[in-house]
Amino acid sequence: MGEFVRLETTDGIGTIRLERPPMNALNTQVQEELRAAAAAATADPEVRAVIVYGGEKVFAAGADIKQMADMSYVDMAERAPELSSALGALARIPKPVVAAITGYALGGGCELALACDWRVVAEDAKLGQPEIKLGIIPGAGGTQRLARLVGPARAKDLIMSGRMVDAQEALRIGLVDRVVPAAEVYDAAVALVTPYLTGPAQALRAAKLAVDGGLDMDLTSGLAWETQLFAALFATDDRREGMTAFVEKRKPDFTGR
């Protein structure tokens, strides 16, 4: 698809692969190729789940600092919304998305992982938001998604110190979901999303919309949003099939419609 990012689809799983050696730094081109890959994964009905993978050695070690070093306030004021929305495109993929993390997921790389639904990491992986050490803060969702995931106090600790956390601490604080040997990261990500490949695609989409959208609302609005999505699913073939299969005591055959 792109020079540094491509989408590969096998057996219903779309793998968004980053390949910009040596550290998969997220320069402007990589950001826009990620946006394009997210759009392609969203649009392709053959893609039922997505894995974001940086390869066997590193996930992504952050933004391209060399590219940003000479940028002015005006330059970044124009670019920052595009950076944020590029990773936001991944967060809005209406399908299950898991980050398969080896090596480092730092700065923009950590923000990329935070844009996914789950994170599977290698035992020797390191994650963090070290932007404070450059005199800045995370600018692509780190202050917002991290706080929603691990709570404000822990998010402030990681963001304001800039320290890295190892896989076990990341698991303990809820930053990641599974820790496996480095050689098993991609396979573990496949295992995590496999149960969703034959699931009811519209209901899975609605579940993700309900949770993610509800986090930005007060409880009353969130409950109304949930009710709307719940009722809408009664227009789907999969709802009919799921309930019929339950009554007939058989396994449902979902079609995604």
Annotated active-site positions, please?
63, 108, 111, 131
Q: What Å distances lie between residue 30 and 3, 20, 143, 176, 224, CA to CA? A: 8, 8, 21, 24, 38
CA-closest candidate to residue 94, choices 114, 110, 117, 113: 117
Q: Which residue, chain included where needed, has tokens 């938001």?
A: 129
Longest dimension (CA), the chain: 66
Count the neighbouring beta carbons within 10 Å of the beta carbon of residue 88: 16
Residue 9: beta bridge partners? 14
Q: What Å distances lie between residue 171 and 24, 165, 167, 214, CA to CA? A: 23, 10, 6, 24
